[in-house]
A = this chain, B = another copy of it.
Amino acid sequence: MCGITGYIGNKLAYPIVINGLRRLEYRGYDSAGIVLNENKNFKLFKTKGKVSDLEEICKGLKSDATVGVGHTRWATHGVPNDINSHPHLSNNEKIVLVHNGIIENYDTLKIMLTSKGYTFKSDTDTEVLVNLIQFMQDTQKIDLSTAVRLALNEVIGAYAIAVMEVDHPEEIVVARLSSPLAIGIGENEYFIASDASPFIEFTKEALYLEDGEMANISLKGVDVFKIKDNSKVNPIIQELKLSLEEIEKGGYEHFMLKEIHEQPKSIMDTMRGRLLVEEGIIQMAGIWDYQEKFLNAERIIIISCGTSWHAGLVGEYLIEDLARIPVEVEYASEFRYRNPIITDKDIVIAISQSGETADSLAALKLAKEKGAFIYGICNVVDSSIARLTDAGSYTHAGPEIGVASTKAFTAQLAVLSMIAIKLAKHKGTISKEKFNSLITELDSIPDKIEKLIKSTEEQIKKISLQYENVHNFLYLGRGYNYPIALEGALKLKEISYIHAEGYPAAEMKHGPIALIDENMPVVVIAPRTEHYEKIVSNIQEINSRKGKVIAIVTEGDIQVKNMVAEAIEIPDVSECFSPILASIPLQLLAYYIAILRGVNVDQPRNLAKSVTVE
């Protein structure tokens, strides 16, 4: 994923574009670049590193350009270095381009262009694209917009691009396929960006390009048309509701820590207006409007990636256990390429924080084509997935900036809990009493998290001191907490670069137990549930191989506590809600270990907040 932004208007372009890049840095921070068109001359600056590095390079720059584009990169083709940074120029240096996405057939195109005498400085697919555009102009004497359109018709892949021509500073050409692109509509000025954050203080009006659309943006306005056949599109202009304050760190050292601490609030926000304990109902329009669909569903398929996939696994336990509807959870990337079996009796639910996850989006499109009813659980309002689905529930966790997802994950669990309980009530698979006790308990979860963070944060800080230098970790859980073992391990992986792996506890003896010796710490999620005795046995197996156990236990536990190096207590709740609580100490553990290792936890290496490439 990359961030692209741009400006055309009457103001100075440089500060607007640089500011936009800073806002988009959560999308990638391997390199940054900017190009301005100053009196029909390109002024191009780019560098490996962050936007601050780019600003360093541009120090003292005086430019009266009023048009320009910028890019912040998450590397896909070619290592992050100066040469591979965007923007990229064409061979004749007349066309410049920034690109978010992947050109899959770049290799073939590069061979063709090389045979025609074009040369390449970088390893990027993007440089191939910009030269393909030049090639179209060279051979056909056409304007930029036509050249871009013809070039894109030769391309297989995903992209959001912004292109400028040196001799035409009055115009920026943009296009999108599978990567987001928003156009901010100001007064005689236009903004381009991967999302609305770069221009939120300038205008509240935005136009989102749809897949397969491109636009010519000039001071005269925005012309939108189809890449395929040049046919005109009448775009819909939307009003933005995002505020910028939400993006501040709120006094914490990192967004991630802020977001961990926000969870009592974010879960409350998620349940606000939905979980109505006094009325004894769960109000969810997305479910209610399609009640028949849900109650008659033969199967629910949950598709997602990464952390959201773990939420999906918990969802499987929740929905099967309570509402007795068979659930299958799939990696979106696997689902879409396997010609999945879907019928119109199936419900496909996509879970994605950003709502832009390319693999999930593509999987969802496929499911829709096959006639499934598609439902979205997203955090970002009006995101691509939210717009594609038949219905959905937002998580309302607020913007999540830390790359490692925390509050969005527990908000997903809260939404899935509400869906499962609501369906169970309407299907009659739980009694009215059970329903009431479940919603009362769910309502108490935010307070319990508040208390849990207060009572364990210092302890976890201390525990982490002992694990600063380990190379490996195992995380084990059973039942509802098996996905939490996966998620706990993923958190540690993402921000500490320690190789942590999650496993269903009982599978350990079928292989992974060979790894266990005195150097292998093992986190075991062992709350007092139905599986308690089984997990006690698993801990004994680890102890007999001298593994060091950190256990997550229920308040007041004695048996496990006496067997392990460290025990972290979580409040006593029904098993179905224990995943939400068990997640919290694992987030804190990952955070504090990573801090000791000196990692920038909000922007860990190699990762991007929302993955809009496949």
Interface residues of A in 303-344 (CB under 8 A from B): 305-307, 309, 317, 320-321, 324-326, 328, 331-334, 337-341
Decide if B506 touches A75 in the complex (CB within 8 Å): no
Candidates B320, B509, B514; contact of A495 at CB < 8 Å? B514
Cross-chain contact of A341 among B326, B493, B506 (Cβ < 8 A)? B326
- A472 beta carbon closer than 8 Å to chain B: yes
Residues of A500-521 at the interface with B, using a CB-CB cut-off of 8 Å, are 501, 504-507, 509-517
The contact of A606 among B497, B505, B514, B611, by CB within 8 Å, is B514
- Interchain CA distance A479-B335 in the complex, whole Å: 9
Asked whether any CB of chain B lies closer than 8 Å to the CB of A248, the reply is no
Known: A307-B511, A540-B76. A506 touches B331 (CB 8 A): yes
B507 touches A306 (CB 8 A): yes
Kindly state whether residue A205 has any CB partner on chain B within 8 Å: no
**Min C-beta distance of A490 to chain B, whole Å:** 5
Contact status A337-B479, CB under 8 Å: yes
A499-B511 in contact (CB<8A): no
**Which of B79, B299, B499, B507 makes the CB contact (< 8 A) with A333?**
B507
- How far in angstroms is the closest Cβ of chain B from A35? 23
B506 with A614: CB separation less than 8 A: yes
Question: In the assembled complex, which residues on chain B have CB atoms less than 8 Å from the CB atom of A533?
Answer: 104-105
B516 to A614, Cβ gap below 8 A? no
Q: A611 is contacted by which of B505, B509, B516, B614 (Cβ under 8 Å)?
A: B509
A482-B514 in contact (CB<8A) = no
Residues of B within 8 A of A246 (CB): none
Q: Which residues of B contact A320 (CB under 8 A)?
A: 338-341
How many copies of this chain does the complex contain? 2
Q: Is A531 an interface residue (CB 8 A)?
A: yes
A516 x B337 contact (CB < 8 A): no
Q: Does A604 contact B (CB under 8 A)?
A: yes
A80 CB contacts on chain B under 8 angstroms: 544
Q: Which of A326, A497, A605 has the most chain B CB atoms inside 10 A of its CB?
A: A326
Residue of B nearest to A542 (CB): B606
A499 engages B514 (CB within 8 Å): no
Report if A510-B338 is in contact (Cβ < 8 Å); known contacts: A102-B537, A471-B471, A499-B515: no
Among residues 422 to 481 in chain A, which have CB atoms less than 8 Å away from a CB atom of chain B?
471-472, 478-479
**Which residue of chain B has its CB nearest to the CB of A607?**
B514
**Given contact pairs A499-B515, A605-B514, A611-B509, A479 touches B77 in the complex (Cβ within 8 A):** no
Partner of A107, one of B331, B495, B509, B559: B559
Q: What 1/0 mask marks residues of chain A from 43 to 55 whose CB sits below 8 Å from any chain B CB?
A: 0000000000000
Cβ–Cβ < 8 Å partners of A531 in chain B: 337
Per the bound structure, the CA–CA distance linking A495 and B309 in Å amounts to: 30
A357 to chain B, nearest CB (A): 8
Contacts A511-B307, A534-B614, A546-B79; is A506 near B607 (CB within 8 Å)?
no
Contact B540 A512 (CB under 8 A): no
Q: Tell whether, in the assembled complex, residue A499 and residue B497 are in contact, meaning their CB atoms are under 8 Å apart.
A: no
Nearest Cβ in chain B — how far from A71, in angstroms?
Answer: 16
Of the candidates B333, B490, B511, the one whose C-beta lies within 8 Å of that of A504 is B333
Contact of A78 with B by CB under 8 A:
yes
Query: For the complex, what is the distance from the CA of A442 to the CA of B531, rounded to whole Å?
Result: 43
Partner of A537 from the list B338, B510, B614 (CB cut-off 8 Å) is B614
Going nearest first, the 3 A-B pairs with the smallest beta carbon separation are A306-B510, A333-B506, A513-B606
Query: Which A residues lie at the B interface, using CB under 8 A?
Result: 75-80, 102, 104-105, 107, 298-299, 305-307, 309, 317, 320-321, 324-326, 328, 331-334, 337-341, 359, 471-472, 478-479, 482, 490, 493-495, 497, 499, 501, 504-507, 509-517, 530-531, 533-534, 537, 540-541, 543-546, 559, 604-608, 611, 613-614
